[in-house]
Amino acid sequence: MKRTTGQDRSITAKWRPATRAVRGGTWRSDWGETSEAIFLTSGYSYEDAATPADRFAGKAPGMTYSRTQNPSVQMLEERIALLEGAEACRTQASGMAAMSTAMLCQLSVGDHMVVARAAFGPTRWVTDNLLPRFGIDCTAVDGRDLDQWKAAIRPNTKVFFFETPANPTMDVVDIAAVCALAKQHGITTVVDNAFATAALQRPLDLGADVVAYAATKLMDGQGRVLAGAVCGSADFINTKLLPFQRNTGPTLSPFNAWLVLKGLETLELRAIRQAENALEIGRFLESRVPVLNHPGLPSHPQHELVKRQMRMAGSVFSFELDGGRQAAHAFLDALEMVDISNNIGDTKSLMTHPASTTHSSLTPEVRADMGVTEGMLRISVGLEDPQDVIEDLDRGLKAIGA
C-alpha cells in the first residue's frame, strides 16, 4: 500500500471540504488504481513472525484482523473524520450500532444520561429499555428547552445525547448552548447528525464532543447499505470507543465501507440539491396542511436558530393532516410516484407514517410526549424534479379532500 496525499493530515488539513470529500483518506495499492480498492479480506499475512508480534504489541503500524482494521474501512474513516473536522473516526455496521456503541463505550452502572426526547425510535428504545437493565439511568427532556437540560443534570450525569433536527418532529436543539452547559459540568455531548451531515451542519465546530452517524442515510445517499460512524477526539476514539468496538464487534463490512466512501464524493452536491428541493416542496405544502414542520421555512418556530447553526435545513420534514391515521394512510395510498418507505436520505423521495412504522415500538404516551401524532407524515425529499413530487403530493391531498 502506498500512502497518498489523502492520508497525510499535514496536506489534507489545508484542503477545502469539496476536495476532502473526493480525495480524503485515499490509499493506493501497487497497481495505482484511481478508484479506491475494496479489500474483502478478514485476515492479513506477514513476512515473518516478528511482524505480527510488533503489530499486536502496538509497536508497529499495520493490519492484524478486519474486526479491528481494514484498508477500505480505514479510507472511509479518514474521509469522514476530515469532513467532520474530527481527530478520529470509527465506523460501525449500522447507524444503531454507532449510537449504541457511542453510549455503551463510555457509560457504566450508576451513571446517568440525558437524552432529547424527540429521537430516532430505536435510540429511545436503547435509552429507555436497554441502558436501565445495566443500571444506567436516563432522563428524557425537551431538547429545545435549555432549562430542562439544566434541571436534569445530576452529580453522576455523564452524557448528553441529542439529534438535530430530530426525527420526525423537526425539533431543533441549540447545539452551542447545550454543549456549553455540558462542558461546565464535565458531561460528554453526543450528537446524532444523520439528518444534516457535515455538508450542512458541523456539531464539533459548535462545541460537541462526539458526532454519531447513520451513514445509511445521506452519506451513502443512494439507499444501498447500512452503515454507521462515530467521530471525536483521538483520545475518545482510541481509549473509549475502540476497546469496546474491537471486543464486541459491530464492525462495518469493507464492501459497505467502499459504497459509502464513494457516496461521500457527491455528498455535498446531493445534500444541497435535496435541501433546495425540500424547500420548494415545503412552500407548496404550507398553504395546504394544518401543521408543517419544516426547519428551512420562516414558519418554523426555531428558524433563526436553524440559520445560525445550519448551512441549509436539509431534505427531511414532516407535516400533519386532519383525520389522524386514517387520513395519513389514505394520503400515502394515493401516491403514484413517491415511495411509501421508512428510509430517508435516498435520491428517491420517500414518505412514511411514523406512528405506525418508525415510532411504533414506542408507547402511545412516549409518542405523544415526543409530538409524533397519528396524522403526521414524514417526507425525505430526493433528487427528482420537485415539481413531479409536488404533483404527487397534490394527488394525496385531493384523495383526502384537503
Ligand X SMILES: *Cc1c(COP(=O)(O)O)cnc(C)c1O
Residues that bind ligand X (CB under 6 A): 94-96, 99, 120, 123, 163, 167, 192, 194-195, 214, 216-217, 226, 228, 344
Least separation in angstroms between residue 155's CB and ligand X is 29
Torsion-angle region of 116 (φ positive above 0: left; ψ -120 to 50: alpha; else: beta): beta
Nearer to ligand X, 99 or 141 (CB): 99
Nearest Cα to 138, choosing from 169, 120, 155, 116? 116
Least separation in angstroms between residue 194's CB and ligand X is 4
Three-class SS state of 291:
strand
Three-class SS state of 370:
helix
Report how far residue 314's alpha carbon sits from residue 271's, in angstroms, rounded to the nearest whole number. 7
Least separation in angstroms between residue 184's CB and ligand X is 27
Nearer to ligand X, 226 or 281 (CB): 226
Report how far residue 62's alpha carbon sits from residue 55's, in angstroms, rounded to the nearest whole number. 6
Report how far residue 111's alpha carbon sits from residue 351's, in angstroms, rounded to the nearest whole number. 38
Least separation in angstroms between residue 3's CB and ligand X is 30
Report how far residue 41's alpha carbon sits from residue 57's, in angstroms, rounded to the nearest whole number. 22
Element (H, E) at 349: none
201, 311 Cβ separation under 8 angstroms: yes
| CA separation, residue 182 to residues 100, 172, 189 (Å) | 20, 17, 7
Nearer to ligand X, 200 or 327 (CB): 200
Q: What is the dihedral of CA 182, 158, 192, 167, to 10 degrees?
A: -90
Least separation in angstroms between residue 116's CB and ligand X is 11
Reading the block at residue 177, the C-alpha cell is 448552548
Beta bridge partners of 380: 316, 350
Least separation in angstroms between residue 315's CB and ligand X is 12
Least separation in angstroms between residue 121's CB and ligand X is 9
Q: What's the per-residue H, E or C state across 124-192?
A: HHHHHHHHHHCCCEEEEECCCCHHHHHHHCCCCEEEEEEECCCCCCCCCCCHHHHHHHHHHCCCEEEEE
Nearer to ligand X, 71 or 345 (CB): 345
Least separation in angstroms between residue 228's CB and ligand X is 6
Nearer to ligand X, 179 or 227 (CB): 227
Nearer to ligand X, 98 or 327 (CB): 98
Nearer to ligand X, 6 or 165 (CB): 165
Dihedral sign from CA coordinates of 244, 247, 252, 255: positive
Residue for cell digits 443512494? 222
Nearer to ligand X, 97 or 281 (CB): 97
| CA separation, residue 280 to residues 129, 242, 277, 332, 387 (Å) | 39, 43, 5, 20, 8
Dihedral sign from CA coordinates of 248, 254, 256, 261: positive
Residue for cell digits 385531493? 398
Nearer to ligand X, 203 or 228 (CB): 228
Residues 6+ apart with CB under 8 A from 159: 103, 106, 107, 111, 113, 114, 187, 188, 189, 190
Least separation in angstroms between residue 71's CB and ligand X is 23
Nearer to ligand X, 80 or 214 (CB): 214
Residue with the CB atom nearest ligand X in the bound state: 95
Least separation in angstroms between residue 122's CB and ligand X is 6
